[in-house]
Chain A
Amino acid sequence: KAGVTQTPRYLIKTRGQQVTLSCSPISGHRSVSWYQQTPGQGLQFLFEYFSETQRNKGNFPGRFSGRQFSNSRSEMNVSTLELGDSALYLCASSFTGQRNTEAFFGQGTRLTVV
């Protein structure tokens, strides 16, 4: 069974640009969550989608947005990039998104903003 796939693995963007990251969940999983990992901050929750609907949102500015497609694949978009957006972006999929069901993480997309 294929794991969670995130593309691209690495990305370099310039301040002010926008970027779209993609996440393909494990087959059959309907919940996709996104996290940002920066040095010293741990993993911070961005948002969670289930059946194409955003169910939860973290404390990030509106420049961070996402969506989920009918096949459960999800994309995350960051507009007007800032240097502080440089981070590892991780997505996690689970069958239902319920707290007691295991979430499987992808390898992440390393975004560098210069």
Chain B
Amino acid sequence: QQQVKQSPQSLIVQKGGISIINCAYENTAFDYFPWYQQFPGKGPALLIAIRPDVSEKKEGRFTISFNKSAKQFSLHIMDSQPGDSATYFCAASRGTSYDKVIFGPGTSLSVIP
């Protein structure tokens, strides 16, 4: 029940295209859903996050869509760029109680020119 599932494992997108990564969770106690971006040799960096009281959050080219009833959420990267090539992790936690973050297994995104 603590698991966060993520797909696809890897993704290749043409420059200018839309990258879509999907995640699902089971634990209804989760109330904070961040996405992290990780470049090789670096630590994860928060990209964008959402709480279940909204169905969508957009920041620049990055949008999270959230479906509370289905316990699913997804990241859309519009106008994907080669600089977006990285590993993306969806995650979940009980944010209000300083809880550990449960990470998905990650998606390796490659944006080709």
* A and B held together in a complex: no
